[in-house]
Amino acid sequence: MEILFIMSAIVLPPRWSNPDLLLASLLALTVLGCLAILPLLDPGPRPAWPHPLLLGGFLTLALGMVIRRLCGRLPLAVSALGAVSLIVILHAATGSTLRPLTGPAPNDWPLALGLDRTIRSEAAIVLCALHMSMLGDLWGRRLSLVMLGIAWAGTVFTVVAISLGGFERMDASGLLLICILLALLAQTWWLKDEAALRAVFSRSRFGLLTRLLLVAAVIVPLASDLRDRAFGAAATDNILLLSAAASVVSLATITLVLAFGHTLYRMDQLRAELARYDLVTGIVTCKGLQDGAGPDLRHHGVILFSIDDFATLEDTFGPGFGEDLLRHVAQTLWANLRKNDILARGADAEFAAFVDVPDIESLSCAATRLRESLENAEHREDGKNYPRISVSFGTSMVEPWETNIDSALQRAKANLPITGTSRIAPD
């Protein structure tokens, strides 16, 4: 399957070579592989035969990937979700009609009892949930999170349970299991950045907690079924009830885990977003300046400037004056910067501006213009007139080979005059 996937990446034209369409190709090849292996299987029970809803879900997701690539959205997501949900309901009501396609006979493999109606058919819901997670709508993402939590446990649990039965019997259905696992791993990997899966793959401590709870929620019902298999059960209804109860507990736990993990992830992202802004002036910090600079740094320069004698002014007029002065400087600079320039707050009384200029001479002219605007601006708070301020600057252009502005900021800081007031030190 991996060889076929690599071949598809080579054969497809360059405009189709992207994760969406490569994943669509892999899912389609998975279905074809399962159908090709079918004649090799012995007649009778097939412990690892994929659920028809799973194969249909693979094809639906593959179609969705193509539509997403061509249209930028997934207009079939809602209709696909409704269609598969209807199939699941009909299957739950008339499961006996699909018994020859969905698993072994009850007397042949007791572990399969309960999996058919309560877990196995939910693999297709996972695929529709991934459809929803790729929509830009917030409620669509929330719905996908709930659906993914409900169905993901069933998918993992089913794969593990079928693996035990399939490899124990050593039959050809193990090849089908490999196809299913490859497809599930592929769609998980390529969709790991979607909203519904970010919490699981987060490198923070919240991501670790989510993964631990996720594993625990799968192991608990699996251990319960293995115990029932080892000790047996007196009646078929008891086995069905135990399997259904274990699956419900697992599904509810996974849903809560993913919802909890996603909430913690959003809180972590919110804290990171708040760290990008200075609480005193309301402008971005140097970290926010790095993020806002973007990938194209050509013909840009950095101006780093410091308020002269800021500590003396604070001692003279009080600590409240310092914060007022910082806000005054930020507002004045914002008013004199162009729309595509970025202003950031540095350490203590330092500010940094990321400006679009062709050369160092233009950068020095921009620094002079900003210095004059600050020195000529009147600072008045609560009816009191405060003295005019002076500012010293250090400048540096971003070199063509640099991919970030770290080095330019360091050079500008090194060029910042240590003594004297109202000075500009060019790069």
Nearest to 57 by CA among 117, 131, 134: 131
Residues 6+ apart with CB under 8 A from 378: 385, 388
Supply the pTM of this predicted model.
Answer: 0.41
- Can you tell me the mean pLDDT for 3-21? 42
Share of the chain above pLDDT 70, in %: 31
Which of the residue ranges 29-33, 38-42, 169-173, 339-343 would you say has the lowest mean pLDDT? Answer: 169-173
Q: Which 8-state DSSP code applies to residue 380?
A: E
277 three-state secondary structure: strand
Contact, 87 vs 15, CB < 8 A? no
Nearest to 147 by CA among 126, 117, 131: 126
Structural domains of the chain, ranges and CATH numbers in brackets: 2-274 (no CATH), 284-425 (3.30.70.270)
- Can you tell me the mean pLDDT for 139-154? 51
Q: CA angle, corner 413, sides to 407 and 418, nearest 5? A: 155
Which of the residue ranges 111-115, 300-304, 312-316, 422-426 would you say has the lowest mean pLDDT? Answer: 111-115
Measured CA to CA, the distance from residue 55 to residue 76 in angstroms comes to: 17
- Check whether 425 has a pLDDT greater than 60: no
b/e map 242-258, b = 16+ CB within 10 Å: bbbebbeebbebbbebb
Measured CA to CA, the distance from residue 300 to residue 342 in angstroms comes to: 11
**Residue 62 to residues 14, 76, 86, 191, 192, Cα–Cα distance (Å):** 18, 12, 20, 13, 17
User: Would you state the pLDDT for residue 353?
Assistant: 86
Measured CA to CA, the distance from residue 240 to residue 222 in angstroms comes to: 14
Measured CA to CA, the distance from residue 270 to residue 249 in angstroms comes to: 31
The packing angle between helices 138-169 and 236-274, to 10°, is: 140
Higher pLDDT, 202 or 257: 202
